[in-house]
Amino acid sequence: MNYKSLAMSFRIQLGFHAANNEGAGGTNVMEPRRITVGDKEYDGISGEIIRHHILENFVRLCQQHQLPLHQRCQGLVPDRCKSEVKKWMTQSQRISKLNPEQHYATLTENILKECALCDIGGYLVALQGKQDGVEGTLKRDSCFEVGWLITEHPAVVNYTQHSAYDPDPEKHNLFVQNMRIGTYGGVLRIDLDRIGLNDWWWLGNGVKNGVKKYAICNAERYKRMWVLLEAIMQWMLSPSFAKQAGWLHHPDGTFEGVIVLSTDGPAPFYSPIKFELENGDPNRPIIKPNPQYRDIIAQLKEKCGETLTVYGFNQPSEFKEKIGQVIAELKKLEDEAKKKQQGSASKQSSGREDIPDAKESQKES
């Protein structure tokens, strides 16, 4: 099945954590990240934090499964591929400024071939002449997106006071840390058909020999897909956050949701939480659970037919089973693509052997 997109909606319980904070704001109180709706505050965890930790898993799995990574990307640096772009400009092309029509397609092709993290996670390279010696920008959007985790009920927050150690007994470095608990709604979507896709391939018509739409072969694309899904699976089953060394969360096993795969454009998803006016009063907006989110997907599946594949799950073990089926299917597609590639290479090789050398032919004649 040629899937173009995968989406996931889920509910998850996180207990007694300090996963995402706004900062201290000049005080000794670490404030939690809040989402204010009307006169109520809901707990929120940024999708950027979740995405960062999924990419941490992805980098480790790339190293484990021999997927290519730039040297600095092995450390998940924020300025991905900047040094590689500068090297390409100064050593390979000997240019001082990037020109979209002349350089974007070829440069992007090189980056995608050399680094799975730049392919999946995207990058933004901004070079300035005075600082970098060369000029230009190059961008790639991430192949997957993660929404905020938002509680389906008003925030439950507790504050506790702590003391940071100082060898001077007269100093008391007191600080206040928050601790939260809640059931959160989350959404995630992967653009599977963009993995390996050179977003600038259409600018490559003017480049010698042209530039292919996909920078890597199908086997490599399928491998990157299932490795990304494994990274997401690992995070879902054992979430990690920014602040957890002394505030590791207490999950109770509440984890349910739905996985949607689409062969016809972006996979649809609907959130486990919803916005509503309490008793129809415009002055009393609230966030509450959306128990119909999986039913909406099921109804849509009936209309879309075979273009959608839907897997529901009600607990962690079922999630592992369902996402495992998708990973197994992608691994099968990888193997089939490898065999097809090897078969094509074998035919080309045998074809060349059948053609006599031109010089030898002339001698015989």
| Tokens standing for residue 320 | 């592992």
What pLDDT score was predicted for residue 176?
A: 56
Tokens at 153, concatenated: 């009920």
Q: Cα separation of 140 and 44, whole Å?
A: 27
Q: What is the pLDDT of residue 353?
A: 47
Give the Cα separation of 311 and 262 in Å (integer).
Answer: 12
Give per-residue burial for 74-86: e unless 16+ CB within 10 Å, then b.
Answer: eebeeebbbebbb
Query: Per the structure block, which two tokens stand in for 46?
Result: 């940024």
Where do the domains of the chain lie?
5-69+141-195+217-353
- 195 within 8 A of 226, measured Cβ to Cβ: no
Per-residue pLDDT of the chain (365 residues; tens, 9 = 90+): 799 999 999 999 998 887 875 554 444 445 556 788 988 999 889 999 999 999 999 999 999 999 999 999 999 998 999 999 999 999 989 999 999 999 999 999 999 999 999 999 999 999 999 999 999 999 999 999 999 999 999 987 665 554 555 667 666 665 556 678 899 999 999 999 999 999 999 998 756 667 899 999 999 999 999 999 999 999 999 999 877 777 788 999 999 999 999 999 999 999 999 999 988 998 899 999 999 999 999 999 999 999 999 999 999 999 999 999 999 999 999 999 999 988 877 777 666 544 444 444 344 43
CA atoms within a 13 Å half-sphere pointing along the CA-CB vector of 30: 18
